[in-house]
């Protein structure tokens, strides 16, 4: 927990990350930044999907519509926060010469998106019958 709190602090003072270890090859830092931006794009897509479910499925029962929208919105928020934290952790590991950090988050996010997608398939199929 202390390590997480330190990482959150580094989100707002990234120059402190530079104080650790040696400067890595800039290509690795740029690759880390591209990965961060990819996670942010994923986050924006999830948030957009949440709003789309809420706005474009008015015939869907309120509980389903709000539930699916909230799962997508929450996933987008978590993805954005995770992107920043992962960027800091990777940058620090590269500067220290350590292995890059591993995470279960991509697997969890993939499962959540798959569950929402299956629920949406069920919704589409049931709407076609009604």
pLDDT (tens digit per residue) in 14-57: 788 888 899 999 999 999 999 999 999 999 999 999 999 999 88
Which of the 8 DSSP states describes residue 16? G
Cα dist. 106→24, 71, 103, 112, 119 in Å?
25, 16, 7, 10, 20
More confident residue, 59 or 106: 106
For 64-127, give the DSSP string.
HHHHHHHHHHHHHHHHHHHHHHHHHHHHHHHHHTPPPPP-SHHHHHHHHHHHHHHHHHHHHHHH
Confidence of residue 100 (pLDDT cuts 50, 70, 90): very high
């Amino acid at each position: 927990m202390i390590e997480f709190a330190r990482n959150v602090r580094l989100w707002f003072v990234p120059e402190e990350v530079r104080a650790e270890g040696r400067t890595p090859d800039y290509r690795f830092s740029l690759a880390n930044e591209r990965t961060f931006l990819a996670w942010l794009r994923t986050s924006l897509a999830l948030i957009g999907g949440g709003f789309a479910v809420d706005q474009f499925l008015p015939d869907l029962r309120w509980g389903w519509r709000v539930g699916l929208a909230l799962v997508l919105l929450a996933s987008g928020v978590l993805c954005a926060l995770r992107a920043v934290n992962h960027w800091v952790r990777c940058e620090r590991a590269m500067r220290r010469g350590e292995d890059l950090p591993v995470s279960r988050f991509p697997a969890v996010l993939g499962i959540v998106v798959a569950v929402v997608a299956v629920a949406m398939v069920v919704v589409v199929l049931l709407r076609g019958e009604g």
